[in-house]
Structures are given as C-alpha cells and as structure tokens.
A and B are shown apart, each in its own frame.
Chain A
Amino acid sequence: MSPAPDSFLERAPLELRDWAVNLLPAPTQWLAHQLITIVAILAVFGLFFAFTTIAERKLLARLQNRLGPNRTGVPKFSILPWHLKHTLFGLSQPFADAVKAITKEDIVPAAADKVLHYLAPVTVVAFSLMGFAVLPFGRQYIPVELDAALLYFFAAGAATELAIFMAGWSSRNKYSLLAAMRALAQLISYELPLILSVVPIVLVTGTLSTKAIVVDQGFWTFSLLPHWFVFTPWGFAGFIIFLVSALAESNRSPFDLPEAESELIAGHLTEYSGFKYALFFMAEYFGLTALSGLGVTLFLGGWQAPCEFLQFIPSYLWFMMKLIGMIVFFIWVRGTLLRLRIDQLTRLSWQFLVPMALLNLGNAAFWVLSAHWAGPLQLVRWAVSLAIIVVPFVVMGRSLTAGYAPRTYRYAP
C-alpha cells in the first residue's frame, strides 16, 4: 500500500518545473526556479480568485433564488469566421469584469495625497500575496520552507491594516477616514483571537513550521479516521474561533462593516474607482484564500488524505479540495447571516472570543500534559478537555446574551 509519495501524478508538476529549469544555463537556474514558483502561485491563485468571484455570485444567487451571471460567453473575435454561440454558463464573467475594471477611468480626488492614494492598493495586494509563500500546498509543494513560518504568515498580514489606514487618510474625505478607523478597530480586535486560536497548535506540535504541523496530522485510526487537529476538543474550538476571526479579518459578511456597501458608502473605498478599487477586492479575496489555506493547513490536515486508502489522489488536489470547501463555506455564511453592528462586533471579540481562545490555550496545555494517559484514562482525557471548552461556552453564552435573546417581537395592534 501507499506508493503515493512517488506516484507519477504527485511528482508531475515538480518534474515539469525541473525540466524547464534545466533548459536554461546553470547560472540562471536558481532564479528560474524561484520565478517559476512565483508565477505558478500567481497563476493558480489569480485564476482561483477569478473563479471564486463567479462561484460567489452564482452561489449567492442560488441562495437568493436568482440565476446569477449566466450570459457572458466567448467574445466574437473578428478572425474567426463563425461566432461561438455558447454562453459557457457565464463562466467567463470574471474576465469581463477584469476588462471593465481596467478600462474604467481612474479618478483621484484633487485634494488627495496622490502618493499614498496610489500606494494603498499596491501595498494591500502585495502583502496579501505574501502569505501564500509558506503554505504547504502538497507533500513537496511549499514555496518557502521557514522555521518560523506561522510568524511569517501573521507578519505578512500585518501590513493590511496599514494599507487601509493609508487608503482612508489619503482620500482626504471624512467618511473615508472615519470608516478606516472603524475598520482598523475591527481588524485589531480580531487579530488577537485569530492568533490566540493558532497558539494551541504551536503548543501541541511544538513547532512554528507549517510543513511539520501538517506532517503531525498524518495519522489514521483504523486507517479511516484522520488525526486532524479539528477532531480534538481544543482543535475544534480553535477552528471555530479561527473561522470567525478569519471572516472578520478578511472583511467578509457578517463582519463586512468596513465596506458595508448597502448602508455606508463603502468606507475607505469611497474615493477609489476603476482598477484600484478592484485591487482592494482582489486583496480581500487573496487574504481570504490565504487564511483559508492556513486554516486547512493547521486544522484540517493540510494536504493529508482523509482516509489512508485515498492517498493515491495527489496531495495538492486534497489541499485544493479542502480550500474550495472552506471558500464555499464562507460564501454560504455570507448568504445566510446578517451583518453585525459595530458594538456587537467588538463585544463578540473582546467579551467572548478572546476569553474562549485563552481558555482553549489552557485546554491545549492540558492535552499536552495528559499525552501519556492510556486505556480508560484516554476517555477521561477527552471528557475533561471537552468540559473545559463546553462549560464556559454555555455559561458565557448564557450570561452575555442575557436580556438580548431570545428576542420577542411586538407588533402594533
């Protein structure tokens, strides 16, 4: 069993890259090696971004009982003697959107700080792409292998806040600036639970390297049940906290207050138009994808197959499948939940998520200390770990929502 690590499909992209690199003269090979990696990430995740937007529009449309974009087809090239009539289910919509964004007029307010106004979208896209460098996409597919990969990931994400501030301030628009400050308050509030939800993983695995964390999850009970961290009490709690914070960090519904297109005036994006506006959204989707990839890596077993006999499917396909699953889940959440108010949003973070994350850290410490428990004690270990997280959840949930829920509606007579 398991010739998987060296199967042809598993190695094929690497072989292709090595073949391409060897075509070049020796002194430039290292450069070509790096460039191919960068181009591969840009191409794969650029396309992934494009199809995330169309998937989002289509899925949201289905959730709202509409059809969604379904008309965009193949453009009529004058070279071709015939016209392809097929509309491709509207799948070429993202390319039409891109052409529209690029050809739109780029308006910069007269009073704006031109340099910062220009730098903000550039910074946000550049830094949101940097997170991809440390994600292990497959068994041998990790762009940069770092000892402190997790730290790098969060450091790369730190500049997004700066970019939002730059966008808000440089527009010289009160609404932009106020909205930017509000967005910063949200991002800072949720950065804490996001990082705290990841710390238990570091505690249990004893490493910051994403590659080692995935390898640590590569075991199966009865070769059927995967040992992913999400299937432990502390891992499950951490995963939920991570999901909520990731939604908030990437400004996704129900935490899309920074933009809030239907109530506010798109916040810090008010004075942006055309391609720069599109760049902000691109960065948002890249950030979401990178965070989802991190969630898959840390909690969902990364590129590991869910069952041992499924290892014949290449590891990078497993990673992408899990990633797509996460994205679809986020789209589903967007179509289901309502937007929060700013006070509810900060309350949720500071009064609920941060204490829960801290408790979960203690839970993980218990898990490490009880690692040698065997036999029936194993059941005790699970029960205690579960209790550490469920009891405070119930108690805190009750006390925090006291007086708020369940809401009773009174109608005018």
Chain B
Amino acid sequence: MTFALLLIGLMMLGSAAWAMLGRNLIHSALLLIASWAGVAGFYLWAGAEFVAFAQVLVYVGAVSMVVLFAVLLTRQNQISATLIEPASRARAATGILTAACVGAIFGAAILSTGFHGAASAGPVSSVKRIGLELMHRNGAALLIVGVILTVALLGATVLAASDSKNSPEDLP
C-alpha cells in the first residue's frame, strides 16, 4: 500500500516538476494533466472513488481542454517567443513575497479549521450520502461555487474576445 502511495506521489510531483521546468508549453500542459490524473490516483488509493472519478472527469476531461485551448488560441507568436524572459531580482522578490502571502493565508485557514477527529472505523460513504450531504447541508456553498465559476467563465470570454475592429482578418 505504501509502495503504491510512493509511486502515485512520484508520478504526481514528478510530472508537476517536469511541467514547470519544461520549455515546451504543450508538453507542460500535458504533464500537468498527468499530474492531475495522479491526484485522481491518490483519491482512489485513499478509497474515495467518487472524488477520484469526479477529478478525472473535471480535470482530465474538462479543465485540460480549457488549458490546451487557452495555450493554442492565445499564443500570438512562435514557440521561440514564448520563452520566459530572464528573471530580474525584483521579479523574484515579488514572486517569493506573493508565495509567502498565499502560504500564510492557506496555513492560517488550515490551522484555524477545527477538523473532527478521525473516527476509528472509516465512515461508510456511498454516492447517495455524498449527494445528500452536498445538496442539503452544503447546498449554499455549492451554489456559490457555481456562481463563481460562471463569473470566471464570463470573465475569460470577455478577456479572450479580441477587439474585432483591430483584427486584420475581419477587414473587408
């Protein structure tokens, strides 16, 4: 069991690291998808089937498409131009500062959340129970998440839509 976990972790982190270090954007995107699949594998390992399948359906099926389309449709220049420009000291400092802030917020959030102590026997989780739990107790949260995703989608459409008057393709 531990060996399987190690293997899954290696796949997850390895492909994520490779995706960050790679210079080819498409390769990075595909490796990122492999990393998401690794997360699904981890959920399966932990016995959360429903979450694992949802992870595959949402991330490998849907978000991957968004990422790939974004990479292909927004790239204005050739591959050579997409190389990241050399990092400056200010840029590095900003990056570290942002990472520290995000880390502090997440850490505070995680530490301040009171987790229920793990029951000695694992709870019998069925899809039906998960669904009822989501729709009854956490219905409001689900709705809010839906609204936020819709807003994000609309925002992305607005950002991606180019000003049609400036596009040389649309000139008569």
Contact = CB atoms under 8 A, between A and B. Distances in A.
Interface of A: 116, 146-148, 151-152, 154-159, 161-162, 165-166, 169, 177, 181, 184, 188, 191, 206-208
A155 B127 contact: no
Contacts of B33: 162
8 contacts: A146-B49, A148-B49, A148-B53, A151-B50, A151-B53, A158-B56, A169-B26, A207-B127
Given A161-B61, A207-B128, A166 B30 contact: yes
A177 B69 CA distance: 12
B96 to A, nearest CB: 34
A142 to B, nearest CB: 15
Contacts, number: 57
- Chain A to chain B: the 5 pairs with minimum beta-carbon distance, closest first: A158-B61, A155-B56, A151-B53, A155-B57, A155-B53
Contacts of A206: 128
Contacts of A157: 61
Contacts of B60: 155, 158-159, 162
A154 B61 CA distance: 9
A151 B64 contact: no
Contact of B61 (A116, A155, A181, A207): A155
Contacts of B145: none
B54 interface: yes
Contacts of A161: 61, 64-65
A159 B61 contact: yes
Contacts of B127: 147-148, 151, 207-208
Report the interface size class on chain B.
Answer: 20 to 34
Name the prevailing secondary structure of the B interface residues: helix
A169 B26 CA distance: 9
A147 B26 contact: no
Contacts of B49: 146-148, 152
B30 A116 contact: yes
A151 B126 contact: no
Nearest to A160: B61
Contacts of A191: 61
Contacts of B105: none
B68 interface: yes
Interface string B118-145: 0000000011100000000000000000
Contact of A151 (B54, B68, B69, B128): B54
Given A151-B54, A169-B26, A162 B64 contact: yes
Nearest to A151: B53
Contacts of A151: 50, 53-54, 57, 127
Q: Name the residue among A147, A155, A156, A162 with the largest chain B CB count within 10 angstroms.
A: A155
A32 to B, nearest CB: 21
Interface in B60-98: 60-62, 64-65, 68-69, 72
A165 B128 CA distance: 35
Contact of B126 (A147, A159, A166, A169): A147
A206 B49 CA distance: 18
B57 A158 contact: yes
Nearest to B125: A147
Contacts of B57: 151, 154-155, 158
A154 B50 CA distance: 12
A208 B131 CA distance: 11
A181 B72 contact: yes
A169 B50 CA distance: 32
Interface in B22-66: 26, 30, 33, 49-50, 53-54, 56-57, 60-62, 64-65
Contacts of A158: 56-57, 60-62
Contacts of A166: 30
A116 B24 CA distance: 13
B4 to A, nearest CB: 16
A151 B61 CA distance: 12
B61 to A, nearest CB: 3
